[in-house]
Amino acid sequence: MRLRFTKMQGVGNDFVVVDAIGQNVLLDTARVRQIADRHFGVGCDQLLLIERPRSPGTDFYYRIFNADGEEVQHCGNGARCFLRYVRDKHLTDKREIRVETMAGVITPRLETDGQVTVDMGPPIFAPANIPFIAEREQLTYQLDVDAKTIRSVRCRWAIRTRYKWSPMWTPRRSLPRDR
């Protein structure tokens, strides 16, 4: 299967962007892994898939796949590339769009200075909604990994990582600390 794509980057994260509006796209986990492979594929942190809107009041549906092929909820840097792509490819002429993701609607906006900002929605701090197992909501959480204790300042939203939870944005500070 031939697949037209564009390679983009945002703040060091690199993406393969695929327009599923202008072409038929069939992706599965194995295909995403093959595309994301840095030695034998195109290579990327994530594959971004642009689809027609699924809900009234939105302009597009945005799917995000990590390099391991798993579909994830959202990515702020990817959303910025998403807006730039749909504007550059004339899929929209709007400066602000509403884009549905697995996590809900986000609003990327092209600012007058050419920068792209993204309203990712309200912050989520409740551990059960991240999901993260904790006795209560607090400013920092302790995580023991490979016999080391890591303390992370909380942030908004979450995505899956190798440790199964992580704030959507990299924690503002992660500090190794002796027990």
Q: What percent of the chain has pLDDT over 70?
A: 75
Q: Out of 47-61, 103-117, 123-137, which region has the weakest mean confidence (pLDDT)?
A: 123-137
Identify the pLDDT of residue 119.
Answer: 82
Q: What is the pLDDT of residues 72-98, one digit of tens each?
A: 887 888 999 999 999 999 999 999 999
Taking the whole predicted model, whether its pTM rises above 0.85 is answered as no
pLDDT tens for each residue of 29-78: 999 999 999 999 999 999 999 999 999 999 999 999 999 999 988 788 89
Up-side HSE of residue 79: CA atoms within 13 Å toward CB?
A: 30
- Cα separation values, 7 from 3, 42, 76, 134, 179, Å: 12, 8, 16, 39, 44
Sequence spans of domains, the chain: 6-119, 127-177
Report angle CA 170, 10, 173 to the nearest 5 degrees: 15
The CATH homologous superfamily of the domain defined by 6-119: Diaminopimelate Epimerase; Chain A, domain 1 (3.10.310.10)
Please answer whether residues 99 and 82 qualify as being in contact, where contact means their C-beta atoms are separated by less than 8 angstroms.
yes
Mean residue pLDDT of the chain comes to: 80
* pLDDT bucket at 151, cuts 50 / 70 / 90: low
What are residue 61's DSSP bridge partners? 51, 100
